[in-house]
Structure 1
């Protein structure tokens, strides 16, 4: 991440905002939102608005490292993907970014039971992550349709695995990641964020990653970099 992003973290500390910290233990899982081509591949429909943030954060390499570290440490990873089916395009109203996604046919699939043309589509997972998806520690949840997990089985899956603590990563920071974070906090989970394993839109006069980082610093237990996450796992291994 840019040094200016970390100024948000520094400013919060200087203002006396507590940093409760986040200890990784056996009841900790990782939740990754939208690790998909439409955000992360250079021909994805959202790539033009997120590419600057993705490159600054080295997001793809950091997300890959999170998958790898989770595999090595046998930490459960719950993936919350984003799909739209043909019936969703009949909605009678939509917010600004819903409109963007529908017009651009973002995350479009042929149907719930139809996987035609799914592979390598915008809705498919980035190739860099696919080698991890068949691992025993991966749980693929039902898709969300707007930003939060309220219409998915994420909370059910977390509860059934007796998860109490969640580390968030994925796309995009100010939308699905932040919305998932807020819902999980309200559901009673302890939540931290691996911030540079994420990214979001950056446009003239609008840096949504920095805006999200401000909110996440105030509501979560701790903000990690991927490097700090790796360092924290050393204590987890020895516990």
Structure 2
């Protein structure tokens, strides 16, 4: 996979307190891998590089509203569990009301707001399940004539993997940044390893953050010539 700056975007998922900050309800499930791989810093490295080199950045957040508690049809197991948490997993009062949003699990980590709220990053409508089929991510890519996607996010085996599968099926090339990704464990085993196995089968490339930054900078330099 060779990057072309004008045809490349950085896509990140779930860059929210719920996943990346110790007070988040999902954080304990992925804390070990977040710390082991220094995922938070690596996500920031990718965002910083993208901004400094004028790459498109698209973020797919996860929000639920009180009206989503009206759901009665079965969903996937993890969503059914999370959406019913007493504290309100990535909860917001209303799509157009930000009361209680600042500092909540649904909010962005303070350290990353300068990248996500700079007026240039496309923060999509929320994904309500695990994939991006319920939001406008694919359209945001298409409308920018993007063909190549670099991907990272804290929940590698769920939202990030499902986004990756949708993006690949839609005809894009995808590189996964292996140390800017976390995942948890359950009785069946290591979800991070499971995600990496699937990424190796499906994605066009798997890079480290260091390698990705070098490739992004090189493509940006080539674009100037």
TM-score interval, normalised by the smaller of the two chains: over 0.9
TM-score, structure 1 normalization: 0.87
Note if 1:117 corresponds to 2:97.
no
Q: Secondary structure at the match of 1:32?
A: strand
Map 1:28-107 onto structure 2 (within 5 A). 28-92=8-72, 93-104=74-85, 105-107=88-90
Which string of whole-angstrom CA distances, capped at 9 and with x for unpartnered residues, describes residues 137-161 of structure 1? 4111111001111111111111111
Output the CA distance in 1 between the equivalents of 2:115 and 2:79: 30
Map 1:157-236 onto structure 2 (within 5 A). 157-203=140-186, 206-236=189-219
What 5-or-longer segments of structure 1 have no aligned partner? 1-20
Matched positions, count: 219
Partner of 1:14: none
RMSD between aligned residues: 1.4
**Alpha-carbon offset, residue 173 of structure 1:** 0.4
Output the CA distance in 1 between the equivalents of 2:117 and 2:144: 18
What 5-or-longer segments of structure 2 have no aligned partner? none
Q: Which moved more, 1:29-38 or 1:226-235?
A: 226-235
Q: Secondary structure at the match of 2:129?
A: coil
Note if 1:144 corresponds to 2:127.
yes
